[in-house]
Amino acid sequence: MGMPTLREVAEEAGVSLATASRALSGSRGVTVENEQAVKHAAARLGYRTNGIARALRSHRTQMVGVLIPHIADPFFPRVVQELERSLQRDQRSILLVDSLGDPTLERERINDLLDRQVDALVVVPAHPQESCTTIELAAATVPLVQLDRPVAAPTDVASIDHRGGIYLAVDHLVAGGCRRLSFVGAESPLEAVTSRRDAFIERLQHHGLPLPTTTPLGSFSVAWGAEAAGALLHTDPSVDGIVCANDLIAIGVLRALRARGRIVPDEIAVTGFDDVGFAEVSDPPLTTIRQPVSELGRAAAELLTARIDADEHRPPRHITLPAELVQRGSTTPVGATTTRVTATADTPGTMGEQSQ
Amino acid sequence: MGMPTLREVAEEAGVSLATASRALSGSRGVTVENEQAVKHAAARLGYRTNGIARALRSHRTQMVGVLIPHIADPFFPRVVQELERSLQRDQRSILLVDSLGDPTLERERINDLLDRQVDALVVVPAHPQESCTTIELAAATVPLVQLDRPVAAPTDVASIDHRGGIYLAVDHLVAGGCRRLSFVGAESPLEAVTSRRDAFIERLQHHGLPLPTTTPLGSFSVAWGAEAAGALLHTDPSVDGIVCANDLIAIGVLRALRARGRIVPDEIAVTGFDDVGFAEVSDPPLTTIRQPVSELGRAAAELLTARIDADEHRPPRHITLPAELVQRGSTTPVGATTTRVTATADTPGTMGEQSQ
DNA sequence: CTGAAAGCGCTAACAA
DNA sequence: TTGTTAGCGCTTTCAG
């Protein structure tokens, strides 16, 4: 009793162990009769192949390690979902670990994953500098893709064009008639975040519009958004458009504006960033920049499979995905027929179609 | 070259393969000198133990399969995070798969996980009936814990006391002075959802309060909440408290009330259910019932480790965790000092402390 | 196309 | 306490 082994299946089918293995693992070089005989025998005995034995022998576990700084962050689960779906198509599974944003823990977890012989790694680095050597070391052992906030290591990367996203927001407000724009930002060590303010300034200059006297930085919170908006109305009463570094801040801004009786979007338009769940249910619904999370997961999976199945030693590739503008009620609508406008990507190509 | 094996470590340390194994895997019965020698040799060679070989030999992979109907659902990632953290303490990792809510896919994924020789499974069933045989079959092979919405199979279960959560909401409204309560619900095949309406009715009867003429059921959406609230004000203009089946519905209700100039919470109080992100940032902030998601993950991990490490054949246990009331601005505050009130659990005991 | 044999790297009996 | 010896269940040469 216990699970039947391949040897028993072979005996039941009247063939050798080798033939049974070939028949079940789909290798060529087995007569149709033998193949059927083996498959029937396997079905009769309720045989299930032992993935661990297979992995030990074949040096392939068909497992991909996925390391995330904080699994519960609303951003990552959607990436993981698409990653899982994409990898599943190649019979690969995800071994999921959480670094809790700690570089030391991150290093341990990566070693755990490598000990388990994962075929590849997808990593969202915990820290822009401290994660670097860990990632380089890991990348020397297995194919590795960095996601979303790459450190300076020579690996494949899939990330999002935050800068282009801010451009979209500014362009949209300008197209809607805004001329005095302000920015409410947040402090962060992540380049993905700090670049948003720079992008805002650049784009104003591009349009030849006046720069705001200050671009205040606070936290990613409703309270900060409300506070900053209050100050802003005081500093620059003629402001007619506010670009926010994320949706929470934007919600705070909306609330402060309402408290002061300013009509959104007629008097002042507001944009967010991220398109988290409540952007859609805020009042008014928030125009925001959506990050293409599913596409990010898929891009990572593509980079990985390409490197595992094909050219293991090609130079690193960097896929940057365009963010998109989601028009809702907090800005003056532009172009009645379209609701979504896509930014141009740095590296288009593979990511053309969209399945979700 | 390539990775050094334990054999090479043994040679380097001048001991046998077996001793080297014992020294590194922490088995008793090795002299301190030998243990040190082996560990130094391992460090010198950069030895890393091969988890696959170990698993094949020891019949333990230290992997737990986790099957979720929809990873990106805001509810599950937090459960998974806590699950991961708890299992990590016992050196176990999570193999994560998504059934997409499809019982057929669910069956395939469970078989994948079993083929990979997971030591145990945590399953959120895709369907209250169709998942049953799959789960029974799997539970016959490895320890299995059902999470959150159990099917009728004799396994360990960790779930949440939704009924008690609704009781909390009703009691809170009553304590705040409400006397004419209504319920806005949603249709669903899940018992966890349908039981909410029943619990509402029960609790009104318990308080001797009048039952509403209808308890409308719609979808989990803002639009439905707004629609239902509009109808409700028409049917029963004297309503002074509305219990909603989830937060999205409550947001819709709040919006409809504001549109009609009804003051929340002074004229009408509103409660939600789930405590998703935007409950906190709605206007007014939503009083709601929080599901103890982290605790749920931890409970599942406890059930699992108990069954793996200890008594594999004890009868199934069912842990039901209490929901808690989170008081915010959409209801009249009760008891100025406390903000959170915890319901009594069916099965208290193990889940007393709280770390997150 | 098929089978026999040789392990993948490790742990678990068993004997010393 | 240590070493020797068998494998875990499978894939993959290598002959035939």
Q: Which residues of A, range 143-202, sit inside 8 Å of B by Cβ?
A: none
Q: Which residues of B touch A61 (CB under 8 A)?
A: 52
**In the prediction, which pLDDT does A347 show?**
32
Q: Which helix (H) or strand (E) segment is A243 a member of?
A: strand A241-244
d(CA A91, CA A350): 21
Taking only the tens place, the pLDDT of each residue in A235-256 is: 999 999 999 999 999 999 999 9
Three-class SS state of B160: strand
Residue A315: per-residue pLDDT: 92
Q: Is the pLDDT of residue B347 over 80?
A: no
Distance B54 CA to D8 C1' (A): 9
- How many other C-beta atoms lie within 10 A of the C-beta of residue A50? 16
> Which nucleotides of strand D lie under 7 Å from a protein CB?
1-13
Q: What is the pLDDT of residue A1?
A: 64
Hey, are the CB atoms on B283 and A255 less than 8 Å from each other? yes
Does residue B28 carry a pLDDT above 90?
no
Higher pLDDT, A340 or B107: B107
Sequence length of chain A is: 356
Over residues B48-61, the pLDDT tens digits come to 999 999 999 999 99
| The pLDDT of residue A163 | 96
pLDDT of residue B1: 63
The residues, any chain, with a CB within 8 Å of residue B245's CB and separated by 6 or more, are: B183, B184, B185, B186, B193, B196, B197, B220, B273
How far from the centroid of its chain's Cα atoms is residue B223's Cα?
Answer: 27
Weakest mean pLDDT among A259-268, A335-344, B90-99: A335-344
**Percent of chain A scoring above 90 in pLDDT:** 81
pTM: predicted TM-score of the whole model, two decimal places: 0.89
pLDDT one-digit tens code per residue, B266-283 = 999 999 999 988 888 888
Q: Which nucleotide is closest, CA of A59 to its C1'?
A: C8
Strand locations in A25-171, DSSP E?
Answer: 63-68, 93-98, 120-123, 144-147, 156-161
Distance B14 CA to D1 C1' (A): 15
Q: pLDDT-based confidence at B293, cuts 50/70/90?
A: very high
Q: Where in chain B is the domain with CATH 3.40.50.2300?
A: 60-160+293-321, 162-291
Per-residue pLDDT, averaged over A111-119, amounts to: 98
CB spacing of A94 vs B95 below 8 angstroms? yes
CATH class of A162-291: alpha beta
Q: Coil, helix or strand for B151?
A: coil
Give the pLDDT confidence score for residue A335 in this predicted structure. 60
Q: What is the mean pLDDT of chain B?
A: 90
Tokens 């049953």 correspond to B132
Task: For residues B206-210, give the mean pLDDT.
Answer: 96
**Proximity of residue B2 CB to strand C below 7 A:** yes
For residue B118, is it left (φ>0), alpha (ψ between -120 and 50) or beta?
beta
Which of A56, A61, A78 has the CB atom closest to B72's CB atom? A78
Q: How confident is the model at residue B321 (pLDDT cuts 50, 70, 90)?
A: very high
Cβ contact A244:A304 at 8 Å: no
Q: Which amino acid is at A251?
A: I
Phi, psi at residue A58, to the nearest 5°?
A: -90, -5
Count of C-beta atoms within a 10 Å radius of residue A314: 10
Contact B50 A111 (CB under 8 A): no
Residues A143-169: pLDDT tens digits? 999 998 889 999 999 999 999 999 999
**Is the Cβ atom of B57 within 7 Å of strand D at any atom?**
yes
Instruction: Decide if pLDDT at B243 tops 50.
Output: yes
Share of chain B above pLDDT 70, in %: 93
Confidence grade of residue A314 (pLDDT, cut at 50, 70, 90): confident
Query: B208: buried, middle or exposed (CB in 10 Å: 19+, 13-18, 0-12)?
Result: exposed
Kindly report the length of chain B. Answer: 356
* pLDDT class of B32 with cuts at 50, 70, 90: very high
Say yes or no for a CB contact (<8 Å) between B50 and A115.
Answer: yes
Indicate the pLDDT class of residue B143, thresholds 50, 70 and 90: very high
Partners of B56 on chain A (C-beta within 8 Å) are: 52-53, 56
B98/A81 touch (CB, cutoff 8 Å), yes or no: yes
pLDDT category at B192 given cuts 50, 70, 90 is confident
Q: What is the pLDDT of residue B334?
A: 75
Which single residue has its CA nearest the C1' atom of nucleotide D3?
Answer: B16
CA dihedral sign, ordered B93, A137, A152, A190: positive
Place of tokens 């980079």: A303
User: CA nearest B94: which of A142, A90, A101, A112?
Assistant: A112
3-state secondary structure of A58: helix
* Mean pLDDT to the nearest integer, A81-105: 97
Q: How far is CA B339 from CA A147, A342, B169, B240, B288, in A?
A: 39, 44, 13, 22, 12
- Residue A125, pLDDT above cutoff 50: yes
Class (C level, CATH) for B60-160+293-321: alpha beta
pLDDT, tens digit (0-9, with 9 covering 90-100), for B110-139: 999 999 999 999 999 999 999 999 999 999
Helix axes A293-309, A75-88, angle to 10 degrees: 40
Of A256-265, B223-232, B302-311, minimum mean pLDDT range? B302-311
A53 vs B: CB within 8 A: yes
Confidence of residue B335 (pLDDT cuts 50, 70, 90): low
For B80-90, the pLDDT digits (tens) are 999 999 999 99
Q: What is the pLDDT of residues A172-223, one digit of tens each?
A: 999 999 999 999 999 998 888 899 999 999 999 999 999 999 999 999 998 9
Q: DSSP E strands: which ranges in B142-273?
A: 144-147, 156-161, 181-186, 217-218, 241-244, 269-271
Question: Which residue of chain A is at minimal alpha-carbon distance from B113?
Answer: A93
pLDDT confidence of residue A350: 30
Best of A71, A249, A254, A288 to disrupt the B interface by mutation (most B CBs within 10 Å)? A71
State residue A278's pLDDT score. 82
Across the range B17-34, mean pLDDT stands at: 91
A 203-242 residues inside an 8 A Cβ radius of B: 222
Q: Do A98 and B85 touch (CB under 8 A)?
A: yes
